[in-house]
Structures are given as C-alpha cells and as structure tokens.
Amino acid sequence: MAKEVAFITGAAQGIGEAVARRLAKDGFAVAVADLNLEKAQEVATSIEADDGTAIAVQVDVSKKEEVEKAVNEAAEKLGDFNVIVNNAGLAPTTPIGSVTPEMFEKVYGVNVAGTIWGIQAATAKFRELGHGGKIISATSQAGVVGNPNLLLYSSTKFAIRGLTQVAARDLASEGITANAYAPGIVKTPMMMDIAHQVGKNAGKSDEWGMSTFSKDIALGRLSEPEDVAAGISFLAGHDSDYMTGQTLIIDGGMQFQ
C-alpha cells in the first residue's frame, strides 16, 4: 500500500527534524523541507538508512512560489500529499524598542506569511488530488500568552492560532483539518540562542537566560524535540480526524487552558 505523505518545513534541525523522524517511523513518506538543502539531505539520508522513506526539498517559506514548487515536488516524487507541518520559524529576542521595519518584514515573512503560503499550497494540492488532508502549524506557548522580550515572535504565534481557526472553518467541508501545536521551552539550537540573548541583555549567563523561561514548567524539565514530535504524530495521524481549529499545547504544563 502506498504511504501517506507528510511535508515538514524547517526540518533540517530542532523540532522539525524530530517531527520528520517520528512521522517516518509512523509510516509516512516524508519531505524534509528546509532552506538549508545540505542539512535537509543529511536528515533524509539518515531516515532512509533507518528504513524510512524521505526526500530533501529546498524551500524559503517566505516566498509563495517556492512553497508551491516544493509542495509540487514532494507530491510528484513521493506519489501523494496528505499532511503539511508548517514548522519553520524565526524567534529573535525583541524588546519593544528594538523592533525595526526590516526585522518585522523578516520575522512576519517567515512565521506568518510562510504559514499562509503553506496552507494555500497544501489546500491546492489536496484539491488537485481529490482528497482531504491535514494542515498542522507551529504556534508556541508564547502564542497562548504574551512572553516578555518577544514582541515579534509572540505576536506571530498568536497570528498562527488565528489563521489556523479560519482555515479550520473554511476547509472543514472538504475534509481538510487545520490544527496548531504550541511547544514550550524546547532544547533546540533556536531556543539556546534566545536564552543566550536574554542572558546577555541582562548581563547574565546563558543558564540564567534559559531559567527565565523554564522556571514555570510544572513537569520540572525542559522539553526534548521528541516530546513535541509525539504530539504532532497525533495531529498527523487518523486518531485526530475529529479535531480541527485547535491548539495542542505541549509545554510540560506552562499554560493551562
């Protein structure tokens, strides 16, 4: 039987890489989509060596035509298209006075526009193939409640929850679901950089920077990327078929809804 196909952006490292590996283990053929094709290829090759099915696809998610091209390439090479995980994102530390027009364009271009282009491209492909599908997008616990010093990042993640709800309403009749996942403090290269910047801004250490985020986790430990991938596995699989428009919070108990 042909495998269902999952397309994951920002999949060359961090949460995206963990998601690609988990969904491959779940039986999906995966498209490892990333700006860094070399690293994406390393992940795809590793998945293949582990008896999975994977290809690497280069994409700059802020460019609509590149997202469309990447989705088409994945569907053509893997034979179907069933799940998109809009995972790619930027998270600079942005105290209110530090935001510039250039920074705004860059962060919103990747986090918000990139998610919109992913939703558009996936919806067009589901329609072309004549079946429903799943749209899964990355918000954050910082998109559930505003986080200090993250004006740009936090606001983009609130936006993603909103556009996920709109997509869920608009696409439900076509058998397309749209959900989001909200990770907490995950041990990824991106999070380590945020902790470094917060510590540096306060004249303190990286560890101090990380502790400003991690002190409120009920389960008392930072998240591994695999913790988040497990939640996305549920959203990508058929056990979540009756769920749409929701944000699945996977943060170890930082935010309660």
CATH number, span 5-184+224-249: 3.40.50.720
Q: Which of 186, 207, 194 is nearest to 254 (CA)?
A: 186
Q: What is the pLDDT of residue 1?
A: 64
Q: What is the pLDDT of residue 196?
A: 87
Q: What is the pLDDT of residue 210?
A: 80
Two structure tokens written together for 36: 């860094």
Specify whether 181 is catalytic: no
Using a 10 angstrom Cβ sphere, with 0-12 exposed, 13-18 middle and 19 or more buried, the burial of residue 97 is exposed
Q: Which of 170, 155, 23 is nearest to 96 (CA)?
A: 155
Tens of pLDDT along 107-148?
999 999 999 999 999 999 999 999 999 999 999 999 999 988
Q: Among the options 125, 134, 153, 181, which is catalytic? A: 153
Across all residues in the chain, what is the average pLDDT? Answer: 95
Q: Which of 93, 52, 67 is nearest to 10 (CA)?
A: 67
Give mean pLDDT in consecutive 10-residue pieces for the chain, a chain of 257 residues. 92 97 98 98 98 98 98 98 98 93 98 98 98 98 92 97 98 98 88 84 88 83 94 98 98 92
Specify whether 157 is catalytic: yes
Q: What is the pLDDT of residue 190?
A: 76
3-state secondary structure of 248: strand
Domain ranges of the chain: 5-184+224-249, 188-222
Q: Among the options 69, 77, 106, 157, which is catalytic? A: 157
